[in-house]
Structures are given as C-alpha cells and as structure tokens.
C-alpha cells in the first residue's frame, strides 16, 4: 500500500518545494497574512516586489494600522482588486484595537476579520501557528479535483464541500506549515492549469484524472458569460502649470477610495461637460484602449483638456486634488490613471497596450 498523500507530498517538498520566498524569511503571522492577501488572484512573481516594498514601509502591524489609507493604496497601486488593500487597513486597525496588535491564533476569529475568508484564515493558522487547518485556494482545488476526479466547477457549493472534506482528510497533524506550502507549490509548479507535469508529481500513482488520461478536464470550468462593455472619456484636465485634476472614487465599488480622472460616459457629449471647468485652451484626443475587470470591459478614451486657468467652484475638500506629475504625491491611483499620467510626463515611453 502506498504511503499517505501528505507523506508523499512532504517528501517531495523537502526536495523541490519553494523555501526562499520573501514572506518565508522570517515567518510571522503578520507577514503570512500580507502575503496571503496579495497572492489572492495574483501570481507569485508579481507579488514579490510589492510585498518587499510593502514590508519596507509597513514592517509591523501597528505601522499599517496607523498609516493613512491613501498611503496604503499608493503601495497597492498596480496589484488590482483594491478592496484587498482597504480590508487590510481595516483589519490591521481592528487587530490593533481589539487584540493589542497581536494577530489572533484562532482560525474562526481570523476568518471573521475583514477580507479574510475560510481558506486564508486556515493558511495563516497552519503556516504561522503550525495548526492542522486545511486550505482550499485555487491551486489546492486543482490538485484535489484532479487527484480525486471531482467533476464540476469549484465555485458551486456542492463541489466546494466535497473538496473541503478531501482537503481536511489529507491534512496531517504535524509539519502543518510545510504541508500547506507543499500543496500550494505542487499546484503552482507541477499540477498547473495547462500542461501539468504529471511525471514529476509525487501523488500521480493514485491520481484518478491521470488514470483517465484527462487531467485538464478537472476542475470544471466556470460557466462562461459574455462580459458587458462600457465606454468612457477619461479627462486629463490640465492647469496652466501642468497639474492634473483628480477625483477620489467612493469608498466601495470599482477602484474604491482611489484617485482617478473625471469620467464622462462615451454616449454623452463632451461639449456639455467641459464648460463646467471654465475656459478651454485646447483638447487632444489620445489613443484609447480596453481595460478589463473581472465582470466587464471598460473602453477608455483619454482626452487631454488644457485649461486657461484653474477652475473655481468645483473643488470639494477631500474629493478633489491637483496632482503634480513631476513631484507625485503618495496616493493610490487606479492603474489606467497612473499609465496616463506617466504618458503625460514621458510621451514616448508610455505603452498603453
């Protein structure tokens, strides 16, 4: 009889696992938490430089809790899914106030904190506190769905429940940290979404999907829907000294809390909106592009609007600011806005595609 799933995986991890990622040296609850949130829907290679800059600025939880939200969003700019950053900030403030700045070790208490679900809470307790709490992130879902040939999309409750039971059944009582890292590494480096390296897999001998010779059939795909398309003008309203007018987005929703350019729906006439900003010296229509969110496409049409003077009467405290592109403030910018501001400063270097 073959060795248990967890034992085979741990032996593989000892030889092939990733042990030198920034958040692994040193391992603390705070660093594990930050990395787990950043890694949600984001590749390791993308996360590493963001994590390192974040740790330089916010090395401890109290540093994050006391920081202005604008600075937190500034260090998140480009990572996307900005609700993660807002929830990090809220979570840090709750832990500072209710847990004296010490991360709780109880998985159920952690799961109740903003932005932390069941799997992320389990990752924190298993990696940071060596508790036998099974995780079920995207990589683990793929490994387990293939190994046990669980049909269906894991976003469906019945499928997820089956995978949770399997995950908990495989979770060992010892070396919890290494096992959790091992199963994530296996999904990321061997049991990949396309072209899985089954010959290198330590649990291939009893993988049902491999026996069926169809591992990529699992897990089932999310039912597809055509994404709607929205279109908008992005107005680069430029004062005579070169400053650009920015607006803060509402706290929730797309780009919540970030600073953006004023938008005008493409179906509306610019001529009816521009007079609100006073006398216009000139306008330039730049090449547009498509920015894709998880649930819709946004076709962006940038327009540089050169103003004769700064308009009076439109500035609302806390909601508007004049942004100096040559001495940029440390604020959170939506990624397309950052791209456009860079194009304004370096017209030949910016790549909008």
Active-site residue list: 36
- Report residue 245 as tokens: 């007018």
- Report residue 334 as tokens: 């939506």
CA distance 209 to 214: 6
- CB-CB contact of 239 with 178 (8 Å): no
Whether omega for the bond prior to residue 26 falls within 30 degrees of 0, making it cis, is yes
Q: How many CB atoms lie within 10 A of CB 330?
A: 12
- CB-CB contact of 175 with 10 (8 Å): yes
CA distance 137 to 278: 52
CA distance 315 to 318: 9
Question: Where are the strands (E) in the chain, listed by range?
Answer: 229-238, 244-248, 259-260, 263-265, 280-285, 289-292, 297-307, 320-323
Nearest to 302 by CA among 315, 318, 291: 291
Burial of 80 (0-12, 13-18, 19+ CB in 10 A): middle
């Amino acid at each position: 009889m073959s060795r248990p799933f967890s034992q085979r995986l741990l032996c593989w991890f000892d030889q092939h696992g990733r042990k030198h990622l920034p958040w692994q040296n040193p391992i603390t609850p705070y660093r594990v938490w930050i990395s787990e949130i950043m890694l949600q829907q984001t590749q390791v290679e993308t996360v590493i430089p963001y994590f390192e800059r974040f740790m330089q600025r916010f090395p401890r939880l109290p540093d994050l809790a006391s920081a202005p939200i604008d600075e937190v969003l500034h260090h998140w700019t480009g990572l996307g899914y900005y609700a993660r950053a807002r929830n990090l900030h809220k979570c840090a403030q709750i832990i500072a106030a209710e847990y004296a700045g010490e991360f709780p070790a109880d998985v159920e208490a952690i799961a109740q904190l903003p932005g932390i679900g069941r799997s992320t809470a389990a990752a924190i307790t298993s990696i940071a506190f060596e508790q036998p709490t099974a995780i079920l992130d995207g990589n683990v879902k793929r490994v387990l769905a293939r190994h046990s040939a669980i049909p269906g999309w894991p976003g469906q409750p019945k499928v997820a429940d089956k995978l949770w039971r399997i995950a908990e059944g495989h979770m060992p009582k010892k070396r919890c940290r290494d096992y959790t890292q091992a199963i994530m590494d296996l999904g990321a480096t061997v049991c990949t979404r396309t072209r899985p390296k089954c010959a290198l897999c330590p649990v291939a001998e009893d993988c049902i999907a491999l026996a069926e010779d169809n591992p990529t059939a699992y897990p089932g795909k999310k039912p597809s829907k055509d994404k709607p398309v929205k279109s908008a003008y992005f107005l680069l309203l430029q004062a005579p000294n070169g400053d650009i007018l920015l607006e803060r987005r509402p706290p929730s929703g797309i780009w919540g809390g970030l600073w953006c350019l004023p938008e005008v729906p493409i179906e509306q006439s610019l001529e009816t909106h521009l007079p609100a900003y006073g006398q216009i010296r000139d306008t330039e229509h730049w090449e547009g592009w498509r920015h894709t969110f998880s649930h819709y496409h946004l076709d962006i049409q940038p327009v540089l609007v050169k103003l004769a003077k700064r308009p009076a009467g439109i500035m609302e405290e806390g909601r508007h600011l004049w942004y100096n592109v040559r001495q940029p403030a440390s604020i959170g910018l939506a990624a397309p806005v950052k791209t456009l501001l860079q194009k304004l400063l370096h017209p030949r270097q910016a790549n909008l595609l």
